[in-house]
Structure 1
Amino acid sequence: MTGTADSDRDVTATPPAQRGGSTGGPAGDDSPAVATPDPAAGAGTTPGAAGSPVKTVVHVVRHGEVHNPEGVLYGRMPGYHLSELGLEMAEVVGRHLAGRDVAHVVSSPLERAQETAQPLAAPHDLTVATDRRLIEAANVFEGKTFGVGDGAMSRPGNWKHLYNPFRPSWGEPYLDQVVRMRGALESARDAARGREAVCVSHQLPIWLLRSHVERRRLWHDPRKRQCTLASLTSFTFLGDEIVSVGYTEPAIELVPVHLRAGGARGSGA
């Protein structure tokens, strides 16, 4: 469940799974782990004694709402910009992060992500960098209307793309997305050592990155993704090691109610 009445409340904060176990719930369960205190609190503090690992936080932000009246699965298509509400969401996230020690902001090359990143960088006088590894997942249904629960899976013409949900057969392999997102995450960490960084990306790649870190299976029900529009999935590092993962929804009051429980309906990406 992603919705919350408190727009700045930390919904979950979990340590990454240890060897031989998982914090992501029972084996095979896609539900998030039990909440613990915000891992990003106090981020950006200076290292302690010589040789002690430095704390760095990387917030991976999903872009705001997109203007898409036709309900197209836009994927990597150019020309899809934030709606007025999406721009407002980005401003809220910018204010949420304004008091943080942000030293680096980087975005997917797609317009909706770039437009979300600008208000996040502005309070810190930063220029938005671009990392193609943060881009949306490739999908054979790009440009079409195809969503969970809209009957598209029952159309015979689509069956040739739906034979293997574990890969998945209709788009960029889940593992490929994890590899590129992990690379982008670590590059952002290196650019902001001892401080905080922000990466703006897209729902599926963000969720797969989190699932990988928390050692959950990558195959999942899209309706159960905890990655609402304009949400932050925050990875806290000590040195090069991820020690906790947090999730916050600073713009939740602006998110349409039907998109709060996963945001996977229709064409949202």
Structure 2
Amino acid sequence: MPADRIHLVRHGEVFNPDGVLYGRLPGYRLSESGREMAQAAADYLVAEGRNVTALICSPLQRTQESAEPWATAYRLTPVIDERVIEPTNVFEGTQMRKALKNPLNWRHLLRPSVPSWGEPFRSIADRMLSAIDDAWQSVDGGDVVIVSHQAPIWVTHLAVAGEKLAHDPRSRRCALSSVTSFERRGTTWREVAYAEPAATGSAVDVGAV
């Protein structure tokens, strides 16, 4: 019997005082508020009575730290999956407002439907759907939590909903430590819930690609 549900969980707030687009850069850890957010996300599924039997996260520090409350609550060892990592981005390591003032960078914005500034949306969708398919088959019942990033989670939402993958990154519904839940119906996935259990009103969220 495969998994009952797959939960895509975004990491908590990152300590990023310089407002850098951190992407896949190493060394970006959770802030203290970020750790509280990650705990709130885990507490949410515990309160819902969900039986989480497997825990997966991307290899980046912020997702591994965000997985810790889940590991403690459900006595699980996180498994690293490269497929659920943040996308690549040519603006990584920069402050976007400053980068966009340089005309040499404007060429990266010519094809937002791809997008021309980083990994294609289709590539993100394919690797994420592959990861959740494998996660679904990896357990004998219960739920699987996958701690990932804003863009991969939102692109998965779009792919499952049958919507166009091209989108404005500012339009994403994927708050810090949010939980987006899916169930398998026959051969297709269906989104069944979205929750924002963490208080994110004052959070700094400028590093997503």
Aligned twin of 1:220? 167
Within the alignment, does 1:195 sit opposite 2:165 as a pair? no
Instruction: Give runs of aligned pairs for residues 1-269 of structure 1, distance below 5 A.
Output: 56-98=4-46, 99-146=49-96, 150=97, 152-238=99-185, 240-251=187-198, 254-257=199-202, 266-268=206-208
Aligned length: 207
Q: Deviations over 1:168-211 (max 9, x none)?
A: 11100110000111111111111234310000000011100110
Helix, strand or coil: the match of 2:43?
Answer: helix
Say whether the 8 Å CA contact 1:55–1:239 is kept in structure 2: no
Q: CA RMSD in A?
A: 1.9
Corresponding residue SS for 2:55? strand
Task: Quote how far apart the aligned CAs of 1:121 are.
Answer: 2.0
Q: State the one-letter code of the partner of 2:29.
A: H
Q: Deviations over 1:232-263 (max 9, x none)?
A: 11001245532443211111xx203577xxx5
Paired letter, 1:255: T
Q: Matches of 2:78 and 2:99 in 1, distance apart?
A: 37
CA distance in 2, matches of 1:59, 1:258: 22
TM-score, length of structure 1 as denominator length = 0.72
What is the letter of the counterpart of residue 105 of structure 1?
A: L
**Farther-moved stretch of structure 1 (118-127 vs 150-159):** 150-159
Return the structure number with greater helix share.
2
Deviation digits for residues 17-65 of structure 1, max 9, x if unmatched? xxxxxxxxxxxxxxxxxxxxxxxxxxxxxx8xxxxxx761000000000
Q: What one-letter code is carried by the residue in structure 1 that aligns with 2:26?
A: P
Q: How far is the alpha carbon of 1:267 from its aligned partner?
A: 2.1
Structure 1 residues 130 and 240: CA distance shift in structure 2, 3 A: farther
Question: Structure 1 74/151 Cα, relative in aligned 2: closer, same or farther at 3 Å?
Answer: closer
Larger Rg, first or second structure (1 or 2): 1
TM-score for both structures, normalised by structure 2: 0.92
Partner SS for 1:199: strand
Aligned-residue identity in percent: 45
